Amino acid sequence: MKHPKEERTLVLIKPDAIQRALIGEIVRRYERLGLKLIGLKMVVPTAEHVEGHYTLDPSWRKVTGEKTIASYRSRNLPPPSEDPLEITAKILKNLKKYLTSGPIICMVWQGAHAVELVRKITGGTEPRTSPVGTIRGDFVVDSYVMSDADDRAVRNLIHASGSISEAEMEIPHWFEKKELIDYKVTHEDILYEKELRGILP
Ligand code: GDP
Ligand code: MG
């Protein structure tokens, strides 16, 4: 079994976050937690690559469509369609436009509970309802009301893997094995070693 400190997650800094000059702020938030950056690059993805990313999980279209219908109902609004797949097709079209509009930064972060902790720091999908203190809650104003009215993707600055199994599919979609660097940072001793040895002479 792998040690929990080996857990990895994928983060994409989306084009709007780069335009907002938030690269440093975003990296800082994951870094200061104690997570280790093991892969980093800037790319302009193709629409095919973005579609591939969102459809790595074959159930994504259905689940996201159903989630969106439920979110309209909870706001007492009629969903744009009763067909989850039709709804996701529209979301996907807009996501492709959004993510190919400029450069993005792809990162792999490693550390104990990396997937869960990165999601906690990142916040919920919709910035408007994302808690204060999260990246999506602190740095952007967007909402489903606005993005739906303009038929565009919700501008939420970041993608972060939603589960360990999602991360395991997403990381190889964006990185070759040789682009991920196995190395040690000295603070790992303080985070993970059983004994706090070597501090005092
Ligand atoms: P994330 O993991 O928090 O980014 O959210 P999901 O994986 O559930 O969805 C991926 C992307 O689909 C989000 O970043 C949104 O752009 C879009 N999306 C998801 N749910 C909804 C929704 O209910 N309404 C709209 N308009 N877009 C959505
Ligand atoms: Mg997701």
Q: What are 30-88's pLDDT values in tens digits?
A: 999 999 999 999 999 999 999 999 999 999 999 999 999 998 999 898 998 999 999 99
Verify that 27 and 107 share a domain, yes or no: yes
Average pLDDT over residues 149-170: 97
Question: Residue 17: what residue type?
Answer: A
Return mean pLDDT, the chain.
96
For residue 90, what are the domain limits?
48-99
| Bridge pairing between strands 36-43 and 158-160 | unpaired
Verify that 188 and 124 share a domain, yes or no: yes
Say yes or no: CB of residue 114 within 6 Å of ligand 1.
no
Verify that 38 and 122 share a domain, yes or no: yes
Looking at the structure of the chain, the number of domains it has is 2
Q: Which of the two residues, 198 and 117, has the higher pLDDT score?
A: 117
Say yes or no: CB of residue 159 within 6 Å of ligand 1.
yes
Distance 196 CA to ligand 2 centre (A): 37
Among 71, 74, 91, which residue has the most ligand 1 atoms within 8 Å of its CB, making it the best to mutate? 91
Verify that 118 and 170 share a domain, yes or no: yes
Query: Which pLDDT value is given to residue 151?
Result: 95
Per-residue pLDDT reduced to its tens digit, 30-46: 999 999 999 999 999 99
Distance 68 CA to ligand 1 centre (A): 8
Verify that 113 and 186 share a domain, yes or no: yes
Verify that 56 and 28 share a domain, yes or no: no
Domain boundary among 99, 122, 138: 99
Distance 193 CA to ligand 1 centre (A): 38
Domain boundary among 84, 99, 114: 99
Verify that 35 and 130 share a domain, yes or no: yes
Verify that 70 and 134 share a domain, yes or no: no
Verify that 70 and 121 share a domain, yes or no: no
Please state the atom number of ligand 1 nearest to the C-alpha of residue 153: 16
Verify that 34 and 122 share a domain, yes or no: yes
Average pLDDT over residues 147-171: 97
Query: Which pLDDT value is given to residue 75?
Result: 86
Domain boundary among 61, 82, 99: 99
Q: Percent of the chain having pLDDT more than 90?
A: 94
> Which residue is catalytic, options 49, 159, 173, 187?
159
Q: Examine residue 200 and state whether it is found in any structural domain, yes or no.
A: no
Question: Residue 119: what residue type?
Answer: R
Q: Percent of the chain having pLDDT more than 70?
A: 100
pLDDT higher than threshold 90 for residue 1: no
Surrounding ion ligand 2 within 5 Å at CB are 162
Q: Examine residue 59 and state whether it is found in any structural domain, yes or no.
A: yes
Q: What angle do CA 170, 24, 180 make, to 5 degrees?
A: 35
Distance 125 CA to ligand 1 centre (A): 6
Ligand nearest to the CA of 159: 1
Verify that 167 and 75 share a domain, yes or no: no
Q: Is 53 a catalytic residue?
A: no
Please state the atom number of ligand 1 nearest to the C-alpha of residue 161: 2
